[in-house]
Amino acid sequence: MKLKKQTLVIIITLLAVNVSFSQAKKPTLMVVPADTWCFENGYTQTINNQGVIKDIPLYQMALQRNSDLALVITQINGLLSERGFSAKDLSAELKKVEAKAAEQELRASKNTGAEVSETPVDALKKTAKADIILEMSWAINDNGLEKQVTFILRGLDAYTGKQIAETSGTGAPDFSSPLPLLLEEAVSSRIDKFLASLQTTFDGWFDKGREVNLGIRVWDDWEYDLESEDFGDDELGFLIENWLNDNCVNGSYTTMDAEATMMNFEQVRIPMTYERNGKIRGMDARTWAKGLSAYLKDMGIINKLTISGLGEATLYLGSK
Amino acid sequence: MKKTLLFIAILFFTVGTTNAQSRRNKKKADTETAKWNYDIECIGEAKAGVYTLKVFSILRDESIARVQASKNAVHAVIFQGINAQGTKCTQKPALARSPNLETEFEEFFNVFFESKGKKDLNNFSKYVNVIDGVTDRIKVSKKEYRIGTLVTVNVALLRKTLENENIIKSLDSGF
């Protein structure tokens, strides 16, 4: 009987260990051409964004007109899938975005119709919805006889904006190989170093927590703000910071902005997993910020939680 | 009758000598292995996951150059990484994430680097293809030679094996 119990305990432990090692949420990756590459090759459009003139990359046009781009993206996607990450295909994602033509431009309060006191959600960011953007560009140095390819591949955490992996360099001069072959070689010879630095980042996430951003906003028709002292022994903003202190890995976060109507937190380190009903589950910014949402609800503050991928959460205080 | 007996005796003697010779070679190779006395030069990467390397092994016996170069190449790929070589070759990071991996899994690597030849599929030789056994040969001391060997290493396959054996972590482990 005792032996049976021991066996059962061992099996349960093994199962728990197995589960705990495979439940963190996998970030989604997507390979896109760098803005500079799009600009140099003429795949951009000049827009007027609230008075600011700027060039935006036209990925669709680039994919349609440049066959080398499709080749490089396909090759990187293939190498990523070999390593257990199925990357989102830029072309397929763009088609999805096109289908959602009536994309919501401004967020409005469900109950009161009040508008948020912040800039509208950038439509461009919606095009690149992946958690990690693999941005690549290349330049060909052609002196008439020999060709040389300079290749840059950067991994960017879409929500923190940080560069988390990179590889770059110029290949050997070649006078006989066609350009697609040189590009293939440029990718294959650099991908190992790139993925090794990506792995270092992932190891850091499991060790010190995943970095996310958190925003707090206040609907303009709410009678209180973040400086109100009606919810506890301190201003609401400080109460929120106390909650962050208790719920971040090693209490690690940075307060970027703290004003009466908005707060921004960056480098917020959240755990990769959490336990619920005895099961280990993957944590993302939404699940984690739900804790803060519940904490505020307990204080009588109705709030709305929105997310942008795995790594950015915003709480709107005052109404849903 | 006598002739037949003599023939059988000679046959046994030859087989015995060959066996002893191959045992000696194996022992020699394993002794050389323990020293890990080599230099590596990256030649290129024909396709993703396959490195072309030139291994310079310091050896007493040229006959074990091929097998020793194979071991050294795999050893470098796992534990040391390969240095960049101008525009010809980019830097290749080591498969090992920890500097103590070799001692942590000493038992596994002792078996892995044992000189069993190509018959054992779990052996190091599965991942190496010797293109040229001896490309260079320089006498470096009274009894030692620096022997260059051109090899390719299937790093993608090697990585998969080490990941499956839980020796190294895969990129998606934990997710």
Between positions 13 and 42 of A, the ones with CB within 8 A of B are: 21-22, 24-27
Distances (CA, A) of B98 to A197, B2, B83, B104, B169: 14, 65, 18, 9, 10
Whole-Å CA distances, A204 to A86, A116, A198, A201: 21, 35, 10, 5
How far is the C-alpha of B95 from the C-alpha of A200, rounded, in Å?
Answer: 12
Q: Quick check: B39 and B59 in contact, CB under 8 A? A: no
Nearest CA to A205 among A109, A253, A265, A269?
Answer: A269
Closest residue, chain B, to A150 (C-alpha): B87
The residues near A156 (Cβ < 8 Å, ≥ 6 apart) are A132, A133, A134, A135, A162, A163, A164
pLDDT exceeds 90 at position B56: yes
Arithmetic mean of pLDDT over chain A: 82
Contact B171 A206 (CB under 8 A): no
User: Above 60 in pLDDT, residue A12?
Assistant: no
Q: Report the chain B residue with the minimal C-alpha distance to residue A75.
A: B48
The minimal CB distance from B171 to the residues A167, A169, A198 is found for: A198
With an 8 Å Cβ cutoff, are B171 and A84 in contact?
yes
A185 touches chain B (CB under 8 A): yes
For residues B145 and B170, is the Cβ–Cβ distance under 8 A? no
Please tell me the predicted confidence (pLDDT) of residue A171.
85
Instruction: State the smallest CA–CA distance between residue B47 and chain A in angstroms.
Output: 6
| C-beta of residue A188 within 8 angstroms of C-beta of residue A75 | yes
Of A34, A53, A242, A40, residue with least CA distance to A155: A34
Tell me which chain B residues have a C-beta less than 8 angstroms from the C-beta of A272.
174
Nearest chain A CA: its distance from B167 CA (Å)? 15
β-sheet bridge partners, residue B40: B55
For residue A53, what pLDDT is reported?
Answer: 83
Q: Are B171 and A199 an interchain contact pair (Cβ–Cβ within 8 Å)?
A: yes
Q: With an 8 Å Cβ cutoff, are B87 and A191 in contact?
A: no
Of B93, B58, B65, B59, which is closest to residue B79 (Cα–Cα)? B93
> Which bin fits A91, alpha (ψ -120 to 50), beta or left (φ > 0)?
alpha
Residues of A in contact with B53 (CB under 8 A): none
CB contact under 8 A, A203 and B155: no
What was the pLDDT predicted at A163? 93
**What residue of A is the nearest CA neighbor of B48?**
A188
- The number of angstroms, rounded, from the C-alpha of A99 to the middle of its chain's C-alpha atoms is 22
What integer is the mean pLDDT of B43-50? 83
Which has the higher per-residue pLDDT, A162 or B55? Answer: B55
pLDDT computed for residue A113 by the predictor: 52
pLDDT digits (tens, 9 = 90+) for A235-258: 999 999 999 999 999 999 999 999
For residue A105, is pLDDT > 60? Answer: no
Which of A148, A190, A192 is most worth mutating to test chain B (most B CB atoms within 10 A of its CB)?
A192
At B111 the pLDDT is 87
pLDDT of residue B149: 95
Sheet hosting strand B128-139, strand order edge to edge: B38-47, B50-59, B145-154, B128-139
Enumerate residues 41 to 80 of chain A having a beta carbon within 8 A of any beta carbon in chain B: 75, 79
- Confidence band, pLDDT 50/70/90 cuts, at residue A123: very low
pTM of the model: 0.76
Structure confidence by residue, pLDDT tens digits, B69-121: 999 999 999 999 999 888 788 889 999 988 899 999 999 998 888 876 555 55
What is the amino acid identity at position A261?
A: T
Q: Which residue has the higher pLDDT, A309 or B138?
A: B138
Question: Between B10 and A61, whose confidence is greater?
Answer: A61
Q: What percent of chain A is predicted at pLDDT more than 70?
A: 82
Q: Which residues of chain B make contact with A148, given a CB cutoff of 8 A?
A: 87
* Predicted local distance difference test score (pLDDT) of residue A214: 95
Residues A265-295: tens digit of each pLDDT: 999 999 988 888 888 888 888 889 999 999 9
**Among the listed ranges A21-30, A112-121, B94-103, which one has the minimum average pLDDT value?**
A112-121
Phi (first) and psi of residue B119, to 5 degrees = -75, -35
Q: B111-157: per-residue pLDDT in tens? A: 888 876 555 556 788 899 999 989 989 998 888 899 999 999 999 99
Per-residue pLDDT of A39-82, as tens digits, reads: 999 998 887 767 788 788 888 899 999 999 999 999 999 989 98
The pLDDT of residue A274: 87
User: Does the pLDDT at position A200 exceed 80?
Assistant: yes
